Amino acid sequence: MGEKLLLNLITPTAQLLNNAEVDMVVIPAFFGEMGILPNHVNTLVQLEFGSLRYKKDGKEEEFAVMGGFVEVINNVVNVFAEGADLEAEIDEEAESQKIKKAKAALSSKDADIDFEMAELELKQAIARMKVKRNKHG
């Protein structure tokens, strides 16, 4: 049995993973996907919206993450995400509706629309849909 990574996934509201022993982690880094294997160089990386995947005992799990940062130190991967959703918990229909609503808000000429919030909601819904469709599509 080879070396393992310890993976922690922490959001402002919960710790979703606590010292999970994993074989590898793939994160949506600011400049593209980044793979992390045991003995990876210590690093600090900005986390983008997208898919965080990890392999544990030959099985792949996936979360939609909503920005933050990742710290890799001595085979410990600490993911501090602004938000995260497990693939199995994502409601595809609800996310599809959020995308439609956000796109409508962004194309609106209404001065009362919070365009930054609509854009953020659109990015979050798209990230969740991509994760959901990776498994089922």
Ranking 38-42, 77-81, 108-112, 115-119 by mean pLDDT, the lowest is: 108-112
Percent of the chain at pLDDT > 90 equals 57
Strands 5-10 and 76-81: parallel
- pTM greater than 0.85: no
Write down the domain spans for the chain.
Answer: 5-86, 91-136
Domain 5-86 fold: ATP Synthase; domain 1 (2.60.15)
CA distances from 9 to 4, 25, 78, 93, 112 (A): 16, 11, 6, 26, 36
Question: Is residue 105 within 8 Å of residue 75, measured between CB atoms?
Answer: no
Domain 91-136 fold: 1.20.5
Q: Contacts from 53-56 at CB under 8 Å and sequence distance 24+?
A: 53/25, 53/26, 54/7, 54/20, 54/22, 54/23, 54/24, 54/25, 54/26, 55/22, 55/23, 55/24, 56/20, 56/21, 56/22, 56/23
Question: Is residue 84 within 8 Å of residue 8, measured between CB atoms?
Answer: no
CA distances from 136 to 41, 88, 92, 109 (A): 34, 10, 10, 36
Q: 72-89 pLDDT, tens per residue?
A: 999 999 999 999 998 888
**pLDDT of the residue at 36:** 98
Distance CA 28, CA 52 (A): 6
Average pLDDT, the chain: 90
**pLDDT of the residue at 137:** 47
